[in-house]
Amino acid sequence: MVLVLISSGAVWGYVHYRLDSIHTVAAPHLTKTVKVPAHSAAGLDPENILLIGNETRAGITNPAEIQQFGSPEQLSGSLSDVIMILHLDPKSDTASLLSIPRDLFVPMPAGSPVGPYEKIDAALNDGKEGPDNLIQAITDDLGIPINHFIELTFDGMQGVVNSLGGINLDFPEKLYDQESSLNISTTGCQHVNGAEALALVRSRHLQYDPPGNNAPPADWPYDPESDLARIARDHTFLRVLASTAISGGFTNPIKANDFIGAVINDIVIDPGLRGQLISLATHYRKLNPAAVPELTLPITTVNSYNYAGSNIGDVDFPVQPLDDQVIAQWDGTALPAPAAPAAVDVYNLAGSYNLATDTASALHADGLNAVIGGDKPAPGSPTETLLYYPPTSLPQALDVLGHLSGAVMLQADTSLPAGTVEVDAGSLLSVTPIAAVRTPPTPTASAAGPSSASTVPPTTASPTTTTVPTPEGEKPSSSSDQLQPWDPIACPAT
C-alpha cells in the first residue's frame, strides 16, 4: 500500500478521497507509537505494521474460486495465511520485515473463541475482532508492540497483482501444489497473474520437478520445509511485487486509481493507519525493496502434537534465546529493557522429578529471587515453558527470559501482582549461567502448597547449560531465507 500510493500532487486529492473509502476496524490492543528521538523524523515515529493474509472463504461466490479455494460452507472461519510485521524507521528511511510462522504454538488471549492454546494463525478466527485478537496474541506472547495492521483477503491479493498488470518471476523448475492450485508447467522467466501469484504464495505442499525426471506432477518430490519454504518464497514475491509497483510508474493517476480500486473492497486497516498512508508513502518514496531485510522467527517442529487431550496437528515451538535475538536484529527498539522482578514463582509443567526445585535453584544461582511453586499437570509431551507476567511487567518477564533457553513463551496474566513472574517449567528448558549480582537466598516453597516432588531440597548442582534444548535435538530453523534450487527468483534485469 505504501509503495504503490506514491503519487503526484495533482492526483493527491482524488487518492485521498479513495483512501477514505477503505474499510477500517478499530483494534483496542494496538500500541500507540512512541517518539524515539534517535529514530523519529518528519513528524513520523518508528512503527510496526502487522500484515495479515486472511484465508477466509466468506463472500466467495465465483464457481471457479470455490473450486480453487473451497466454499464458505466447507471451510468456515478465518486463519492467517501470512503473518508479517513491517518495521519502519523514519530517521534512516529504512524498513525491515519479520515473519512469524503460522504454526507457532502459543497461548491465546483470554476469552478467545478458539480456546486457551492454539497455533498463532487461529487467533484471527474471531469474526470482526480477529485482527485485534491476533494483535493481542503477538504482543502478549512475543512482547512485540503492534501499532497498525493491514488485512488482505484472497481476492485482494489477486487484485493487487492484477492491478500491476501481473509480475515476472523466474522458475528454475516446474512446480505443482494440488491444494493451492499451483501449476507452473514451464521453466524460465514468465508472467504471473493474480490467480497464479496467489497459488504460489499460499503453497505449503509444493512439489517440484527435479532435473531428468519424467514422472507426473503428483509423483514429484515434496519441498520438505513446508511453511518455512513458503515464507521464503513469499519474501521473494514481495520484493518483486514492490519493485514492479515502483517501476510501473504509479505517479500515473490511472494506475494509482486501478490499484486502489482493486483492493478497496478486500482490505481492512485500522483508522490510524488510513490517516497516515499518504504521509508514509511520501516519506518512504525512495525505499529500495531489494534492501529491506526479511527475517523469520527460528522454530522447531513437533509432529501430530497432542495437548490437553486434543490433537493440534503439526506445531512449531519457539527457540530462545534465538527468537529474541532475531527480534532485536529486526527492530532493536521493539522490546523494552529488562528489569529485575520482585519474585519468580517456579512450577513444574513437565512431570519431571524435581524440575521446579532444580529450576528455582538455577535461577537463584543467576541472582533471581525464585520460589518453588510446586507441580502442575503436564498438558503434553514435550511441553513449552510458559512465563506468566502482569501486562505492566513485561520488562520483568524479559529479564527472566534472558536466563532461560529452549521452548519458552511469554503469556500475559492479569491475576499476578506487579513485578512477579511465574515460570511454568516445560520439558525443553535450561537455565543460562549468568553472573549473580547478589548472593541468592535458599529456594523456599511458596504458599501455593507445593507437591512432594518440589519440596525435595536441592542437593545437586544447578542444572545450568549453554545448550538450547529442542525436540529430539532438532536443529532450529534459520532466521534468513533458505531458498532451494526449485524456488522462483526475480527475473534477470533486461
Does some domain include residue 100? yes
Are residue 330 and residue 274 in the same domain, yes or no?
no
- The CA distance from 168 to 153, in Å, is 22
CATH number, domain containing residue 293? 3.40.630.190
- Looking at the fold, whether 354 and 293 belong to one and the same domain comes out as no
Lowest mean pLDDT: which of 243-257, 300-314, 327-341, 372-386?
Answer: 243-257
Write out pLDDT tens, residues 210-263: 988 889 999 999 999 989 999 999 999 999 988 888 776 555 566 666 777 777
Q: Identify whether 340 is part of a domain.
A: yes
User: Of 256, 282, 297, which residue is a domain's last?
Assistant: 297
Nearest to 374 by CA among 423, 335, 333: 423
What residue numbers bound the domain in which 274 lies?
A: 9-159+227-297
User: What does the DSSP assignment read for 42-108?
Assistant: TTB--EEEEEEEE---TT---HHHHHHH--TTTS-S--EEEEEEEEEETTTTEEEEEE--TTBEEEP
- Spatial distance between the Cα atoms of 412 and 108, rounded to a whole number of angstroms: 10
Residues 328 and 415 in one domain: yes
Mean pLDDT of 187-202: 94
- The answer as to whether 257 is a domain residue is yes
* Alpha carbons 130 and 122: distance in angstroms, whole number: 9
Q: For the full predicted model, state whether its pTM sits above 0.85.
A: yes
388 and 465 together in one domain: yes
Q: How far apart, in Å, are the Cα atoms of 478 and each of 106, 141, 158, 323, 452?
A: 20, 21, 30, 10, 41
Question: Is residue 401 situated within a structural domain?
Answer: yes
pLDDT of residue 264: 78
The pLDDT tens digits of the residues spanning 122-179 come to 999 877 789 999 999 999 999 999 999 999 887 888 888 988 889 999 999 999 999 9
Task: For residues 95 and 88, give the distance between their C-alpha atoms in angstroms, rounded to a whole number.
Answer: 5
Q: Which residues contact 303 (CB under 8 A, 6 or more apart)?
A: 314
Residues 263, 407, single domain; the answer is no
* Cα Rg, the chain, nearest whole Å: 24
Counted domains in the chain: 2
Q: What residue has cell string 504482543?
A: 139
Please state the three-class secondary structure of 340-364 as a single string: CCCEEEEEECCCCCCHHHHHHHHHH
Rounded Cα distance, 199 and 180, in Å: 5
369 and 277 in a single domain? The answer is no
Contact 121, 78 (CB under 8 A): no
Do 154 and 237 sit in the same domain of this protein? yes
Q: Is residue 213 part of a domain?
A: no
Tell me, yes or no, whether 217 lies in a domain: no
Does 343 share its domain with 400? yes
**Which DSSP category does 464 fall into?**
B
Q: Are residues 57 and 21 in the same domain?
A: yes
Residues 288 and 327 in one domain: no
User: Is the domain of 275 the same as that of 326?
Assistant: no
Q: Which three cell numbers stand for residue 202?
A: 499460499
- Inside any domain, residue 115: yes
